[in-house]
């Protein structure tokens, strides 16, 4: 009989004390305190997500079980799933297991969400997009959490299939306003690959010396001193080792041969099956090969293999031996190492025969059938490889890309011809990349034999590797290699592959500011193809590579185009091409339309790319919308791993913060940007970072530093230089030059601008030339230059126009024309107030006072207390959208929308939804820069 303080070990070796208050895991007090705090917060509607990472046997599963018990005691509903190696390639397998207890509640969801989950779980032909499934799961959980708080437990995340993992990451980032806690555990040395990003991850370290000794003595009291010392040394604080190694080293010498810890543990587990019956061992091997098969099928398979009936008695024997536990009616190994130990210790013949039997038993499940058929094959089997390829073709045709990947991977391992194998593996890598699975994409590429690549395969490989892991080093060489591969693909007839690769090479010419040689190489290759001059691909490549050579023609052709407003790909091509040459108005229109299309399809990675259109909005004075879109895009870029996009959006966030007068936020944002590993070689963003630093210095009165900082962006030898984007800094440089008394130096620096502006007459270049010519003009021609510049500046560039008014008024005041100065200074002040550019608004007020016109201090309004997302929600709600419609637009739960509105009303001084429109209109009238049309709504 157990005493109230009797000690025993949990399934993965972490000891627990059992007493009146429940079980306490030994040596994990701090970790449990953290987990229980998250549980308490979730119970009050403040959900979160946490990843526990650590080595095998370190106690991750024990913490999950302890947390599960605590949650049950607090009346949480607990849903759980775990990864299985054999299922990590089967789309949504882990998610289906997680939601199985909630299957009836799926039928109560609105039709779009219900259909998304039906498609994910195989009830429809086409596989839905991953984020449609994510939003459906989020809504399911949000509704369930209204009735009872939820705890989601995910063990062995490293083996969770990619589709399920992406959905779980999507949900984990959106639990803040829900009574939902998501806790995952992963056996990995690089937890960043699996992190939800919603909470700092918990890295579980080995036990300290005292806790390790306590755990060992609790499970194996009375060990001989030499054996006890040996176990403590070899276990090195690993809880599972402290439980299992005493059984393995009993009777050995004090110095057994040195084996890796996992191998020791697997050997210890496997040894525990030696005394089991043949029926039990056969059942355990079948379970190890197919852990999720129905129990009756496992019994049938094991019976056929054992030549005798295998029944529940074999299962009971495994349970009694401490190898298996029952969760409901499903048998599970007590620890993943138990499963791998049993599988690897079995003979090759037994493993092959088990997989053959499982393949026969699972013929009604084509994916699993082929998985086991492939696993039962030794050596090449071209016929089976062809079957796997056919299965992949059918899956891809149905839109089930994630299901096609494992079939191609296995097909590649079975084909005899090395070149064919490489082609299959590259195709699998392409599909893995398409579903944003960078880990498996790289793994597949590593298996390909690069010595067997033909021209098309080489180009496809460069496309996939470019998407899987952007290599920032040696940009000129990389661009050359990509162009060369595009040449090879085009010459053998793979035009689509060649065009795609050349476009990516051209994009690098912008992102990394390729030198004239590589730009000319890419442009020459495009010319060799004799392309349609109006094709979006042609226009974009030319914009990226040689904007000054093709500038006038590009502007004319872009003006004539009428693209399909529903083709997100073409719209994005044209928007990005327009953006890089400074055709700002066109860029924002096209990228806004593209964003609307990607939003409607739930394609968040592509949406993040199109939200990069928030950058040019800054120059149109749309600071509120740029703030909304860049913040949303930044979140989506982090979530989807679009790190180059993240760089641009992060820089935009910093620029908007600087212009709004939020100097601390701006400086912190740029520090974070500069700390990113990709930053140094990405010239398109280094120049933006330099712009923000220069503006912060200028606003702070450090005029000489501001000029020096901005001038560096015009030096071809400086890492902040960009051959095209530098012209967006021209107005800032001119402002700094006037303030610092370096007008002559600035004129010399901008000497080549007029000629280039003639060759590339985009809005960016027109503004740069006319603004600088006015602001840097000598006094004797300044008046006419200001008037000419204001006449020539695009009407939509309201921020630049206001800045010119400010300079004109300041110049007039210096000429002692105080009455004349007041009109342009008022225009500047009003426009700066409208767009929310506080530093310049205060400068205009100061100049007005100096010109003899008192001006009251700027009024602070409650609208500025709203976060970016709250402002989006308020705008959409004021337009009559329901909470569910807003949630679908912003990819958050309708419950989260409701929680935000509950906080928004008192901040706006209202009590109901019906008063939102009036409150927001009043805010815009009181201080127009504080509100505006939601970027989500407009797109």
**Number of CB atoms found within 10 A of residue 873's CB:** 30
- Tell me, what's the pLDDT at 118? 86
Q: How far apart are CA 331 and CA 322, in angstroms?
A: 12
**Number of CB atoms found within 10 A of residue 572's CB:** 24
Strands 180-186 and 150-155: parallel
Q: How far apart are CA 61 and CA 851, in angstroms?
A: 72
- Tell me, what's the pLDDT at 924? 63
Which residues, other chains included, contact 72 with Cβ-Cβ below 8 Å and sequence gap of 6+? 78
Instruction: Of 629, 624, 622, give the one whose Cα is nearest residue 596.
Output: 629
Do 759 and 548 meet the contact criterion of CB atoms below 8 Å apart?
Answer: yes
Q: How far apart are CA 498 and CA 476, in angstroms?
A: 19
Instruction: Of 141, 440, 98, give the one whose Cα is nearest residue 292.
Output: 98
Helix (H) or strand (E) holding 507: helix 495-511
- Tell me, what's the pLDDT at 548? 95
Mean pLDDT per 10-residue segment, the chain (939 residues): 34 47 73 94 94 87 92 94 75 89 90 87 69 92 95 91 88 93 81 57 88 87 83 84 75 49 70 85 93 89 94 92 81 80 88 94 87 88 92 82 84 88 87 75 77 83 73 82 94 94 94 93 95 93 95 92 88 93 94 92 88 92 93 90 92 97 96 94 95 97 97 96 96 97 96 96 96 95 94 94 96 93 95 93 93 67 66 90 91 90 88 87 58 43
Strands (E), 502-574: none
The runs of H, that is alpha helices, within 195-238 are 209-219, 225-235
- Side-chain half-sphere CA neighbours of 315 within 13 A: 16
Do 59 and 13 meet the contact criterion of CB atoms below 8 Å apart?
Answer: yes
- Side-chain half-sphere CA neighbours of 13 within 13 A: 30
Instruction: Of 560, 627, 568, give the one whose Cα is nearest residue 592.
Output: 568
Residue 510: both structure tokens together: 């912008």
3-state class of 611 per DSSP? helix
Specify whether the backbone of 383 is left (phi greater than 0), alpha (psi in -120 to 50) or beta.
Answer: alpha
**CB under 8 A, 24+ apart: contacts of 194-198:** 194/51, 194/53, 194/157, 194/158, 194/165, 195/51, 196/49, 196/50, 196/51, 196/168, 196/169, 196/172, 197/169, 197/172, 197/173, 197/638, 197/639, 198/48, 198/49, 198/50, 198/172, 198/173
**Number of CB atoms found within 10 A of residue 527's CB:** 11
- Tell me, what's the pLDDT at 867? 80
- Tell me, what's the pLDDT at 931? 45
Q: How far apart are CA 845 and CA 861, in angstroms?
A: 18
Distance of CA 47 to the CA centre of its chain: 20
- Tell me, what's the pLDDT at 583? 95
* Sign of the dihedral defined by the CA atoms of residues 755, 758, 762, 768, in that order: positive
Instruction: Of 206, 203, 189, 252, give the one whose Cα is nearest residue 51.
Output: 203
Strands 15-19 and 22-25: antiparallel
Q: How far apart are CA 160 and CA 837, in angstroms?
A: 47
With a threshold of 0.85, does the pTM exceed it? no
């Amino acid at each position: 009989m157990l005493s109230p303080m009797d000690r025993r070990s949990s399934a993965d070796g972490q000891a627990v004390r059992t007493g009146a208050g429940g079980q306490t895991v030994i040596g994990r007090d701090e970790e449990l305190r953290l987990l229980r705090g998250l549980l308490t917060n979730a119970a009050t509607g403040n959900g979160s997500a946490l990843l526990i990472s650590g080595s095998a046997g370190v106690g991750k599963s024990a913490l999950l079980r302890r947390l599960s018990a605590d949650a049950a005691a607090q009346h949480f509903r607990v849903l759980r799933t775990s990864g299985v190696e054999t299922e990590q390639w089967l789309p949504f397998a882990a998610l289906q297991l997680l939601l199985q207890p909630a299957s009836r509640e799926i039928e109560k969801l609105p039709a779009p969400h219900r259909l998304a989950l039906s498609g994910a779980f195989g009830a429809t032909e086409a596989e839905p997009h991953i984020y449609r499934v994510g939003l459906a799961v989020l809504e399911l959980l949000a509704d369930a959490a209204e009735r009872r708080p939820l705890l989601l437990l995910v063990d062995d995340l490293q083996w969770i299939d990619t589709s399920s993992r992406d959905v779980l990451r999507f949900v984990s980032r959106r639990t803040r306003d829900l009574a939902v806690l998501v806790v995952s555990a992963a056996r990995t040395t690089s937890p960043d690959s699996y992190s939800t990003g919603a909470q700092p991850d918990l890295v579980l370290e080995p036990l300290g010396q005292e806790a390790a000794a306590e755990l060992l003595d609790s499970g194996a009291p009375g060990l001989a001193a030499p054996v006890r010392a040996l176990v403590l040394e070899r276990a090195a604080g690993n809880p599972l080792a402290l439980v299992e190694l005493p059984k393995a080293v009993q009777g050995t010498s004090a110095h057994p041969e040195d084996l890796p810890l996992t191998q020791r543990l697997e050997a210890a587990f496997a040894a525990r099956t030696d005394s089991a019956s043949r029926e039990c061992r056969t059942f355990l091997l079948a379970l190890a090969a197919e852990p999720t098969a129905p129990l009756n099928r496992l019994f049938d398979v094991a019976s056929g293999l054992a030549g005798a009936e295998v029944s529940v008695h074999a299962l009971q024997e495994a349970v009694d031996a401490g190898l298996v536990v029952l969760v409901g009616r499903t048998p599970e190994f007590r620890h993943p190492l138990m499963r791998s130990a049993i599988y690897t210790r079995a003979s090759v013949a037994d493993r092959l025969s088990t997989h053959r039997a499982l393949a026969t038993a699972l013929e009604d499940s084509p994916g699993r059938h082929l998985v086991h058929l492939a696993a039962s094959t030794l050596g090449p089997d071209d016929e089976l490889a062809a079957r796997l390829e056919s299965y992949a073709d059918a899956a891809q045709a149905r839109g089930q890309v994630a299901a096609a990947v494992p079939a191609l991977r296995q097909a590649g391992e079975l084909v005899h011809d090395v070149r064919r194998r490489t082609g299959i593996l590259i195709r699998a890598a392409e599909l893995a990349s398409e579903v944003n699975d960078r880990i498996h994409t790289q793994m597949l590429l590593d298996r390909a034999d690069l010595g067997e690549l033909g021209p098309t395969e080489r180009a496809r490989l460069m496309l996939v590797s470019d998407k899987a892991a952007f290599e920032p080093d040696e940009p000129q060489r990389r661009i050359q290699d990509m162009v060369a591969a595009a040449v090879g693909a085009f010459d053998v007839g793979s035009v689509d592959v060649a065009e795609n690769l050349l476009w990516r090479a051209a994009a690098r010419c912008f992102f990394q500011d390729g030198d004239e040689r590589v730009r000319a190489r890419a442009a020459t290759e495009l010319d060799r193809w004799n392309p349609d001059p109006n094709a979006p691909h042609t226009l974009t490549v030319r914009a990226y590579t040689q904007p000054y050579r093709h500038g006038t023609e590009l502007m004319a052709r872009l003006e004539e185009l009428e693209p399909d407003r529903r083709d997100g790909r073409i719209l994005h091509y044209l928007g990005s091409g327009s953006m890089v040459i400074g055709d700002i108005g066109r860029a924002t229109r096209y990228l806004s339309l593209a964003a609307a299309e990607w939003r409607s399809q739930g394609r968040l990675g592509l949406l993040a790319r199109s939200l990069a259109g928030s950058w040019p909005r800054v120059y149109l004075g749309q600071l509120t919308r740029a703030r909304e879109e860049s913040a949303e895009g930044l979140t989506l870029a982090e979530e989807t791993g679009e790190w180059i996009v993240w760089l641009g959006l992060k820089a935009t966030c910093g620029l908007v913060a600087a212009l709004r007068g939020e100097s601390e936020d701006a400086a912190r944002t740029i520090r974070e940007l500069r700390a990113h590993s990709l930053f140094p070689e990405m010239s398109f963003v280094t120049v933006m970072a330099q712009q923000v630093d220069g503006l912060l210095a200028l606003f702070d009165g450090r005029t000489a530093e501001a000029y020096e900082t901005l001038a560096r962006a015009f030096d071809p030898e400086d890492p902040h230089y960009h051959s095209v984007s530098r012209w967006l800094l021209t107005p800032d440089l001119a402002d700094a030059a006037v303030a610092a008394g370096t007008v002559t130096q600035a004129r010399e620096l901008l000497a080549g601008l007029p000629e280039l502006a003639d060759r590339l007459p985009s809005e960016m270049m027109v503004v740069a030339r006319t603004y600088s010519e006015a602001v840097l003009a000598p006094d004797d021609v300044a008046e006419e230059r200001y008037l000419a510049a204001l006449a020539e500046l695009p009407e939509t560039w309201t921020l630049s126009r206001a800045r010119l008014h400010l300079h004109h008024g300041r110049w007039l005041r210096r000429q002692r024309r105080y009455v004349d100065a007041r009109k342009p200074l008022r225009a500047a002040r009003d426009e700066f107030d409208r767009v929310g550019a506080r530093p310049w608004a205060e400068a205009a007020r100061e100049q007005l006072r100096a010109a003899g016109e008192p001006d009251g201090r700027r009024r602070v309004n409650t609208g500025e207390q709203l976060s970016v997302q709250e402002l989006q929600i308020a705008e959409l709600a004021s337009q009559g959208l329901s909470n569910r419609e807003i949630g679908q637009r912003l990819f958050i739960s309708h419950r989260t929308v409701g929680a935000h509105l509950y906080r928004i009303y008192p901040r706006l001084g209202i009590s109901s939804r019906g008063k939102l429109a009036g409150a927001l209109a009043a805010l815009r009238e009181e201080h127009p820069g504080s509100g505006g049309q939601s970027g989500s709504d407009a797109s």
